Amino acid sequence: MATTTKPQSPRMSDEAVKAKTGKNWDQWFAILDKAGAKKMSHPDIVKILSSKYEVGPWWRQMVTASYEHARGMRDRHEKPAGYEISVSRTVGVPLATLYKAVANAKSRSRWLSADELEVRKATANKSLRVTWKDGKTSLEISFYPKGDGKSQVVVQHGKLPDAKAAAKMKTFWSNALDQLRETLK
């Protein structure tokens, strides 16, 4: 559970959440406060939204996580299985070129130490599932076409042990993907 006491505001606007759920953040937070959600687990809060309100699965998670962040029950980047960060970059190369630069060990060694990851599953030009060099944390690396010879890579690094490790890896992947982009110029 989070150690922070500073409430965090939701990342999505009131208008967006109301358009999709019928209520804005203040209304959801008042409902959850009244239900005693500050003393509940994540699954128990989701269960309230599932059983009493017509909120879709994705939105149940969004409302619950936002509530937990706003009430100081969860740190930034904290997920049920640890901490997770996400970093993305759009690069001016075709999708196949970007994918090869990450998936191929020789190409990857130009911008990232070759021994830092072990690819468990690869779907060409779409995604990689990877074990990080620590053998404990995981990466999901996704690739998206962006048109006109551009493509995007998104690295999600999960199962991180704490907020400090999450911040460190957020910086690491920001720098690494900047280096990747430089090598592909």
pLDDT in tens, 132-155: 988 899 999 999 999 889 999 999
Residue 7 has pLDDT above 80, yes or no: no
How large is the average pLDDT for residues 118-122? 92
Give Cβ neighbours of residue 5 (< 8 Å, ≥ 6 apart). Answer: 72
- The residue that leads in pLDDT, 115 or 162, is 162
Determine whether domain 79-183 maps to CATH 3.30.530.20. yes
Spatial contact of 103 and 119, defined as CB atoms under 8 Å apart: yes
Residue 53: count other Cβ atoms within 10 Å of its Cβ.
Answer: 15
**pLDDT at site 74:** 76
How large is the average pLDDT for residues 13-35? 92
Mean pLDDT taken over the chain: 88
Measured distance CA(32)–CA(49) in Å, rounded = 9
How large is the average pLDDT for residues 109-128? 89
**pLDDT at site 9:** 54
Residue 14 has pLDDT above 90, yes or no: no
**pLDDT at site 2:** 43
**pLDDT at site 116:** 77
Measured distance CA(121)–CA(141) in Å, rounded = 10
Measured distance CA(108)–CA(114) in Å, rounded = 6
Q: 10 pLDDT band (50/70/90 cuts)?
A: low
**pLDDT at site 55:** 86
Q: Which of 134, 107, 99, 104 is nearest to 119 (CA)?
A: 104
DSSP letter for each residue of 117-155: EEEEEEETTTEEEEEETTSS-EEEEEEEEEETTEEEEEE
pTM of the predicted structure, to 2 decimals: 0.66
Distances (CA, A) of 140 to 86, 143, 164, 171: 9, 10, 20, 17
Residue 23 has pLDDT above 90, yes or no: yes
How large is the average pLDDT for residues 62-73? 86
Spatial contact of 72 and 7, defined as CB atoms under 8 Å apart: yes
Residue 43 has pLDDT above 60, yes or no: yes
Residue 1 has pLDDT above 50, yes or no: no
Spatial contact of 173 and 155, defined as CB atoms under 8 Å apart: yes
Give the rounded percent of residues in the chain with a pLDDT score beyond 90. 61
